[in-house]
Structures are given as C-alpha cells and as structure tokens.
Structure 1
Amino acid sequence: MILRLDHVQLAIPAGAEEACRRFYVGVLGMDELEKPPALKARGGLWLRGGDAVVHLGVEEPFRPALKAHPGFVVADLDALAATLMDAGHTPLWNEALPGIRRFYVADPCGNRLEFLSTDIPSPGSS
C-alpha cells in the first residue's frame, strides 16, 4: 500500500524562518524548495537533503517536538557532529541501540532531530 515517505513536517513558531534557514540550509546543507504560491503566505520552509524532505510549518501556539523526531542517515556522522558543534549545536550521542552510531540535536526551535551513520543495518536484515 505505502510506497515511500514523501516528507516529514515539523512545527516552528512564527518568525523563525530565518533562524531555521541558517540551520537547515547553512549548517546541515539542505536545499530550500520553492513552496507553492498558495502556501507561501502561511510562512515556514520546505527543505530537501538527499531523499529527505522536511516541511517546517508555522504553528501557534508553538510547542517543539521533544520526543517525536525525524531520523536522517548521513554519509559522515563525525563530520556532521563537528560541523554542528562549530555552529553551536551540541550533539547528544546515544548508544542505546547496539551497533548503531547516532546522536540527537535540537534545531533552533527546539525540535529533536536524530542523525545516524550509514552503516546501520537494513530493516529486516540479520
């Protein structure tokens, strides 16, 4: 039935677009996508990094996602951790899953993001 995940949406407060642009585009290296004209007035951003698409939508009242989160597989986890540290975003490494290297970091609005190494096992593999 389901073919693929199209995008993940995270909430941001009104006026946070520029801070999010600096983080998602400037630090994470994602590309900003053009929003359809009918949706531009709502604010927010649409972003793509590889096959991952993130929509940041304005929500009032705003409450960051502290537990729920997207998980991004990245080519060089250690380089990304260093880039995030240099930009003032401290990765929180997590070793709860044996054999999987990963960390969490908060975006400028406090939303939780997970980053995983490319050497994670495929779903269903043994």
Structure 2
Amino acid sequence: MYSGLHHVQLALPAGEEDRARAFFVGVLGMTEIDKPPVLAVRGGAWFRAALEIHLGVEDDFRPAHKAHPGILVDDLDAVAERLHEAGHHVTPDRDFPGFRRFYAHDPFGNRLEFLEPEDG
C-alpha cells in the first residue's frame, strides 16, 4: 500500500532561508528545489537529495528536539566530517542494531539523524 516517504517537513524562523541554504546545500550537499508558486509566498525552502526536506516558516518557531527525520546515507563518516568542518556537533549513537548512526542539529536546533547500514 505505501511506496515510500516523499518528504519530511521541518520548521524554521521567519527570514532564515539563507541560513537554511547554507546548511542544507552548503554543508550537506543537497539541492534546493523550487517551491510551487502558491506555497513560495509563505516563505521557507525545499531541499532534495535521496529525499526531500521541506522547511516551513513558523511564526512561533520552536525547534524539534525529539522528533526528527532519519536520513540514510552511503558514507556516514563523510557526512560527519562535513558537519564537523562546518562547526556542527555530531553525537554518535550505537543503540540501533544493524546501523551506525549519529545525531546533529540544523542551524535552527531541529534534530537530524543520519544512518548507515552496518553491512553497507
């Protein structure tokens, strides 16, 4: 019945789209994609790699500290290195059998989980 995940929605404060671009494109290497015009007027930004992350403006913004996307990657160490080089903290976590993983936060404090299968 379900065929996959299309996107994950996260929030950002109003006017912070350039910081989002610097992180999701500049650090993580994702590509920014155009929002449909009817949605673009609301602000925010959308990014794509193997999945889409949509960042929407919230006037009463509070970062997602617990809720998070789980992002599968091919080279966990390379992603961690990119984040370290850009000054972002990475927190390793070994509590998910079958995967190597770590947590990091976007510039707005939203939690992100990066995973790589141990056999991959």
**Same fold by TM-score greater than 0.5:** yes
Q: Tell me the SS of whatever aligns to 1:101.
A: strand
Unaligned runs of 5+ in 1: 122-126
Tell me what 1:106 maps to: 105
Question: What TM-score do the two structures reach when normalised by structure 2?
Answer: 0.94
Question: What TM-score do the two structures reach when normalised by structure 1?
Answer: 0.89
- For residues 62 and 120 of structure 1, do their structure 2 counterparts lie closer, same or farther at Cα, with a shift above 3 Å needed? farther
Tell me what 1:124 maps to: none
Aligned partners of 1:120, 1:71: CA distance in 2, in Å?
A: 18
Displacement of 1:65: 0.5
Q: Partner letter of residue 98 of structure 1?
A: P
Aligned partners of 1:84, 1:2: CA distance in 2, in Å?
A: 32
Aligned partners of 1:26, 1:92: CA distance in 2, in Å?
A: 21
Q: Tell me the SS of whatever aligns to 1:21.
A: helix
Aligned partners of 2:119, 2:10: CA distance in 1, in Å?
A: 24
Aligned partners of 1:73, 1:4: CA distance in 2, in Å?
A: 13
Determine if contact 1:44/1:56 at 8 Å carries over to the other structure: yes
Q: Deviations over 1:56-80 (max 9, x none)?
A: 0001100100000001111110111
- For residues 14 and 120 of structure 1, do their structure 2 counterparts lie closer, same or farther at Cα, with a shift above 3 Å needed? farther
Displacement of 1:120: 6.2
- Correspondence 1:37-56 to 2 at 5 A: 37-50=37-50, 52-56=51-55
Tell me what 2:61 maps to: 62
Displacement of 1:96: 1.4
Displacement of 1:97: 2.0
Q: Deviations over 1:8-30 (max 9, x none)?
A: 10011101111110000000000
Determine if contact 1:9/1:55 at 8 Å carries over to the other structure: yes
RMSD, aligned α-carbons = 1.4
Determine if contact 2:98/2:117 at 8 Å carries over to the other structure: no
Aligned partners of 1:18, 1:35: CA distance in 2, in Å?
A: 15
Q: Tell me the SS of whatever aligns to 1:24.
A: helix
Tell me what 2:118 maps to: 119
Q: Percent identity among equivalent residues?
A: 57
Deviating 4+ runs (over 4 angstroms)? none
Q: Aligned residues, how many?
A: 120
